Structure 1
Amino acid sequence: MDSTTAHRDAVVAEQETLSRLLSRPEAPDETLPYGPDADHLVDVFHPTTSPRGVVLLLHGGYWRRAVDRTHATPLARELARRGHLVLLPEYRRGNGSCPTTLGDMVRLSAQLPRLLERAEDSGAAADLPLTVAGHSAGGHPALWWGVCGLGHGAGPVPRIRALAPVADLTRGAREGIGEGAVADFMGGTPEELPEAYAHADPAARWPEVPSHRRRTMQALHGDRDRRVPVEHTADSPVESVIVRGAHHFDVVDPASAHWPAVVEFLEN
């Protein structure tokens, strides 16, 4: 199979998987607010037994308004079946939304104790291990949690697990990934907005991250990804796992043949 055919096949497979995830959304057990905006909502998925941990799951979609958390609900439900209390938040998205998106992450971090207290049947959830997981564009704020140390003020130090993340905003903008999605999200190019990129880009901020936080951060990426280049993760200083044969949505699809590798990554 030549490279052109392989690329086309991967693109088709990604779209088919996304369509399937969207066609079978899972309803949350409850939805809680975390702020005043219409997007300040968190869907809660409860395990059937006492929770073994909490997963804050940040969905992807290149920060575009047209893509919400719906496609991530099958993953949230499956993680709940595995014993995790899963929080799937919405957040503000759109062109130039970087400051508000990152502001929503700060708000989520501050509201997390209250959200866990309000979540039904959560028990002592505030004392459980916390994993901040994000897929694709959602992998960017997940990594930003780690570089900024969000959630380190109280309770367990969060583990950061980024799935096929946009790990390098500057590189992503310069390469035009997602049809210019990074520059749209930031409101301009790295050359036009150097200070904004220096603040928002996990790759640019890596040198300031202390070693104890670096050890909590990992990324996973499929080598057939045609939406976010796998090289962005492979070249990142964040410890990474490359899954052979996996495309962009395999890493959030519980029905994927690569699901066992994703589970091991998220839970270990």
Structure 2
Amino acid sequence: MATPTRQPDRAGERRTPYGSDPSQFGELYLPSGTPRGVVVVIHGGFWRSQYDHTLGSPLAASLSEQGWAAWNLEYRRVGNGGGNPATFDDIAAGIDKIADLGLDTTSTVVTLGHSAGGHLATWAASRGRFDSWQPDRVKVSHVVSQAGVLDLRQAYVDQLGGGAVENFLGHPPTDADDPLDSIRQVPLDIPVWCIHATADTNVPISQSQAYVDAMTKAGATAELHAVPGDHFVLIDPSSSAWADTLAHLDTLG
């Protein structure tokens, strides 16, 4: 296995495309020594193009400081060519690109996503079930969902993000969209850790509660960690919520 090369421009950051679109790239943040594992950071923003990878950059930098290789993933979003199925294609291809980065992808590969990114992080663990996203070259071993939109149908009913689900899918969710809906891919055969703030008004904690309940009832491994604060405290590297997330990752690698 090739040794990852640190870049001098910023603390291990290296931008690498995984496709030809300007939004198809990842930024790799490397620790100073051998990585403990890989964390794929998937930003949120209700899948809309006005929100981008810079939401995940502080988390990726923090992860590399803690010994992780962090792959801060950008993808096409609604408004710049994304939505269904392009966003799913990008998440699958972006994760599989890690196989070309000289990293160990046979042990710990965590998808960590916030809000809509939490939906994509959990979905990514099920992508190998479907012909459209096979073969999945890099297997996800753990999921961390930060206030994830984990039930698209309920999010549509609740009109989260002012109609974000319908905008993302291109229509109201139906049975045909079940392969794209995290809660309808339960159970996963890997553990999912959901962290959610109790005062979140953007994505209510009931989204994580329902997902964890469905996973545990199905005999799968899932845990809800509730913290004080709002939707964005989870992606503040100075917050106790982020400290809790790092502590959870410590148990994985």
When normalised by structure 2's length, the TM-score is: 0.82
Identity %: 29
Q: Distance in 1 between matches of 2:114 and 2:53?
A: 11
- Partner letter of residue 203 of structure 1? I
2:33 matched to 1:64? no
Residue 231 (structure 2) aligns with: 248
Q: Distance in 1 between matches of 2:105 and 2:179?
A: 29
Q: Distance in 1 between matches of 2:181 and 2:150?
A: 8
CA drift of 1:240 comes to 2.9
CA drift of 1:153 comes to 5.5
Q: The residue matched to 1:248 in structure 2 has which SS?
A: coil
CA drift of 1:27 comes to 7.8
- Partner letter of residue 205 of structure 1? Q
Structure number with bigger Rg: 1
Measured at CA, do residues 106 and 257 of structure 1 come closer, stay the same or move farther in structure 2, by a change above 3 Å? closer
CA drift of 1:49 comes to 1.9
> Of 194, 213, 220, which residue of structure 2 is paired with 1:219?
194
> Of 144, 164, 184, which residue of structure 1 is paired with 2:123?
144
Q: For residues 1-268 of structure 1, what are the structure 2 equivalents within 5 Å?
A: 29-94=13-78, 97-114=83-100, 116-117=101-102, 124-149=103-128, 157-190=140-173, 193-195=174-176, 197-206=177-186, 209=187, 213=189, 215-236=190-211, 237-238=214-215, 239-268=222-251
- Unaligned segments of structure 2, at least 5 residues: 1-9, 216-221
Measured at CA, do residues 227 and 27 of structure 1 come closer, stay the same or move farther in structure 2, by a change above 3 Å? farther
Measured at CA, do residues 173 and 35 of structure 1 come closer, stay the same or move farther in structure 2, by a change above 3 Å? same
Higher helix proportion = 1
After superposition, what is the alpha-carbon deviation per residue over 1:132-174, rounded to whole angstroms, capped at 9, x for unaligned? 1111100111111123348995666521111110000110011
Kept after mapping to 1: 8 A contact 2:111/2:140: no
Q: Distance in 2 between matches of 1:103 and 1:61?
A: 18
- Partner letter of residue 150 of structure 2? A
CA drift of 1:257 comes to 2.8
Q: Distance in 2 between matches of 1:55 and 1:184?
A: 28
Q: Distance in 1 between matches of 2:88 and 2:233?
A: 26
Misfit runs of 4+, over 6 Å: none
Q: Distance in 1 between matches of 2:139 and 2:169?
A: 31
CA drift of 1:52 comes to 1.0
Computed over aligned residues only, the root mean square deviation of the Cα atoms, in angstroms, reads 2.3
Q: Distance in 2 between matches of 1:64 and 1:27?
A: 28
Kept after mapping to 1: 8 A contact 2:125/2:140: no
In the comparison of the two structures, how many residue pairs are matched?
228
- Partner letter of residue 60 of structure 2? A
Q: Distance in 1 between matches of 2:135 and 2:159?
A: 34
Q: Which moved more, 1:232-241 or 1:138-147?
A: 232-241
Measured at CA, do residues 27 and 183 of structure 1 come closer, stay the same or move farther in structure 2, by a change above 3 Å? farther
Q: Distance in 2 between matches of 1:153 and 1:60?
A: 23
Q: Distance in 1 between matches of 2:23 and 2:140?
A: 26
